[in-house]
Structure 1
Amino acid sequence: MQEGKTLILIVDDLYENCLLLDYTLKKKGYRTMIAHNGYEAFDCMNTEKPDLIISDILMPVMDGFVFCRKCKSDNRYASIPFIFYTATYTSSKDEEFALSLGADMFIVKPAEPNVFLKYIADVLEKYKKGELQTREICRLPEDEQFMKDYNVALIRKLEDKFEDAEKARKLIQQRENLLRAILNSSPDIVLLIDEEGLFHEVTTTDETFLYKPAYEVKGKKVTDIFEEELSRKLLNIINETVKTQKVQSIKYPLKMSFGERWYEAKLSPVKDYNLDGKQILTVLIRDITEYKALENELKMININLADRIEEEIKRRRQQEQIIIQQALFSAMSEMLISISHHWRQPLNVIGLLLQNQKDDFERGTLTVDKVREYVDIAMERLKALSTTIDDFLNLLKANPEEKVFDVKPPVVNVINLFKPQFDEDNIICKMTCLIHNLEVKDSICCDDMLIKGDISRFQDCIVRIINNAIQAIKEARKKGLLKINEEGLINISFTSSNGLITVSIDDNGCGIPSKILDRIFDPYFTTNEKYYKQGIGLYIVKMLVERLFNGSITARNLNKGASFALEFQQTK
């Protein structure tokens, strides 16, 4: 007999037992047939004769004992190995009776799969070797004796069942008493109510609940207990719970003789259970009067807190505006230095023109053409000075004017203000548009670099970072990181990616000490006490970029110098 071709008949009235045996045997390579009682088993055997039978005992229609006796009494099936596998008949007398009917093995459930499979293999091996008892050598009990022994086994099992049932009844009664004691001692009121609003069970220690004793509520409907409006709300929440099969809750007040009380009811559907065809719901009701009072008190506190928070935000915004204005005034001295450099040369030119005009007049060589030439040159220089004044005034505007602008022209204007100082400090400033890979030398605009905000505040940010770079380059020369005659470099680049515009300002100065790199944007923190007297320069830049432009600023050290990157949301 080859294991892969062995056919085993499984007889058990429980579907899950059949499923487990079927899986275990098939995994080992056996073929299987399934029947749920002895009667069905004979139908299966009439279709195909099995090589082994594994049968439960307690089954409807025809149990395992009768099925085994009939098999062993039938010449067609008497030689088939028969194994009892039972969880009900487990005594030694049960085993003795089972073996007397011709069974080859008696196994008590549950058995470990490996042990169980070994039993099957042993029985099949003995059958193959002819070592199992067959009908010819098996002395089956006579019918009268069989019925007597069979009845004794059934009575013994019924007695066991009765004893088990009595134990189960007592256990159920104990648990029911325990559950009722728990419910009665609970601060919550527990109700059982059906979908039509009829109370089936009420457990409460609150004798005043629902205006009357709890025992009088049982058998009443919601409409018998509550006033019309509350009854309607409760029936609606009951219908919603039945419809959605989800927990619902409702809070409601009840006017008592001693004052108003608030209750919260949570309704939960009892799954897979109904009474007289009606859905049953469990209802937990809790007195939330004190909670409601605390809730109202908390609401008042929150209202007052919200007002206080609003006042505090308003105050802090005013302080920020004051700080910004102070920062602008502190920047005025820095800008005046740049303006003084910017104005000195044009004023010298105008002075020389006036002196030349006087000399020509005294020599008698002053002609109309020369006067016009002198006037044109002077007007050109005065126009440049006027432009400088406009730029300076725009930079110091008190009230921001929000509009869409290209970031390059404002940076170009700032750099033009610094050109005299760059010349004096031997600094080269280069601007590059990385989008077009072109050097920026004038105020050419493009749609790729548009942001929204106030130009003067944007320029103020650039001024502060440029000043920071200038001071870093000077400090590098003092420390010997740059030679005295070595050019300082400030590189400004513009780029756009994924909806963000980045303006990067790099220098070859002394860099930022790593121990303070993460604190340079803190308020009143200074990297140069001599230069930033108030210590709010970079903090102001960060605040302006984040608050007015919804952007960000970061700083990092380069191999030589530092880099500041300002990021802004691109505007289409």
Structure 2
Amino acid sequence: MKILVAEDHPESRYLLQQLFAGLGHEVSAVADGLEVLELLGNTKLAPPDVVVSDALMPRMDGFQLCRALRQHPRWCRLPFIFYTATYTDRADEQFAVRLGADRFVVKPVEPDQLMAIITDVVAKVKSAPPREPQPLDADATVMEEYTHRLSLKLELKVVELEGANEDLKASEQAIRQLNDQLTEMVQALEKEVAVRQEAEAALRIREEVLRYAQNLGQTGSYLRDLETMDMVWSDEAFRICGFEPIAGPVSREWMAERIHPEDRERVLATLRVADRDRTGLEVEHRILRPDGGVRHVFVRRHIYRDADGSPRRAIGIIQDVTDRRLAEVQRARLETQLRQAQKMEAIGNLAGGIAHDFNNILTAIMAHAELLELELPRETTGPHLRDSVNEILTASGRARDMVRQILTFSRKQPVERKRVEIDAVVQEALKLVTVTLPPSVELRAELGAQRAVLGNESQIHQIVLNLCTNAAQAMGTMGGLVTVTLAAAEMDDARARSRPPLRTGEYVLLEVRDNGCGMDAATVERIFEPFFTTKGVGHGTGLGLAVVHGAVQAHDGAIFVESTPGKGTVFSVYLPALKGVATGKAGTVAAPVSGAGQKILFVDDEPSVAKIGARLLERLGYKAVALTDPVAARDRLVNNPHEFDLVITDYLMPRVTGLDLSRAVWAVRPELPMILAVGFGGQLDATKAKAHGFKEFVAKPFAIQTLADAIARALGVK
């Protein structure tokens, strides 16, 4: 509906405009009747459906506007509603109807009621027979009555203004009399106030200096009557205890309630002795604030004696020493962290120092054992010999895993992470756990996460193995039950706050629960420390749970432990879950690809590794050349760049490293594929090796199949 509003008061005009527009109508608003006629005379604008007008307006009021519209041949049928509150009576309404108004509404009216009136008027006008324009001389008495109505309204307005003026005069006289009285009172008080202000100003300065000093030093003061034992505290003393200042004394009982329950008896006993002997004291204790906060305070008092030496009052201070105590705790924590970091650095340096040489030794041992296993005739070889070979491989594998655990734990070896379907990895790990557990230990598994994580399969495998092994060892020879559960977990804000450093989001929760001997709080506190173990000599390295802790952190996860002596232990591992449900699909392992006589150069400064490397290559069907001098290998490759189809090189070698060798070779033959074999490469991993240009990366000690697959991929045959 298009509504045209005529209202001279801006506030009323704005309110009507907002009301109708808010109800979904198209609104135009003007200040008087002449503006209405100007809008209606604009043929470019669509005509309104109704006019809502005030009565009294400048230039052309509502009565004149209504008469003008009713005399106009085009607008005589336009619905017209008076909406006014200006000195209205029944005669005004009757006059408006005689002029041709469709409705006369007296303010105020509820918005819904006003809108209903407008809707009703528009509907009735549309359904009524068309109106004809009123002739200019249709009613000679109209203008006479209009003039009479307007005169009455103006007279009422004048009377109202005169009354208001008289009220203002009376108020002005009363105010003048009151002002004279107040002036006399003020003048009488000025002298008294001036003297008092000087004294108060001096007192305020002294009090402000004292308050500032106490606040700056976080030190409150108190005065204690030794007869009544009541105390008067300074404002700062109350603030230290977490209270707004209280006027008047505080009782001994109220003060005692502020002392931390664990310190209360000790402090009160000290106070009783000092009160009995009428002596000073010094005591440090904790206070418990109303909000649950704990503060450390130092209290010192001195006995004030009168002229004859009798003790009358105790004057003391209450100093907040929380920051100092927290600083001492923080310093102790930092010292502990520094010692731990130094220990970790020492472990890392030791691990890095031995890893290269030790892995070279293991490479030779494992490779010879694998070749021996492959070359032993099954028909004539006794079971004891094969068992011995298997024991060599098993022991070598444990030694290899031990080195990797130390490197991972000390963060001297990077870890590659990819999408891992964790249900399958945990299930595979539990197969090995089942074989290694003693018969007295029962293993139950409930796997239902159906989620994937961004992680490393070997590390997740190690987490499961170490936790299950630790649980089995906790039950000893008596045996018991180990329960492994895997499920999806949603971490909301409340749960995340209770389990730092976890954040809100989706996780995979791995729990390993046992009903073994359990641990006390002191053991739980140190359970993840490296080389800490509760087992006897020869029954543990103290690295198992430390490795688990490091692996969980490497996955951006968290591990928590709950234990009760005599009842058992629960380890809870949270790993961030990837979006989407796990596919459950597992890849198939292809058989090793045999060579077709390709010529391969194997470079390693360790003779035993170079020798066994050549034997492995020949076993796989390749022509092998082994060199232990990296300088000689570089010169040979530079002088004869097309002699070999592939180069396998060690990383850490004297004078020329594996990276140096690769750069020299690729300068003359960029397309020659190379494999980097690493015993210990620091932070070098497969991704970084491939970024340098190597086709493949293998970690020592490596199995025959691992080497065969890497060669096949590097040569492009797999």
Q: Same fold (TM over 0.5)?
A: no
Scaled by the length of structure 1, the TM-score of the pair is 0.40
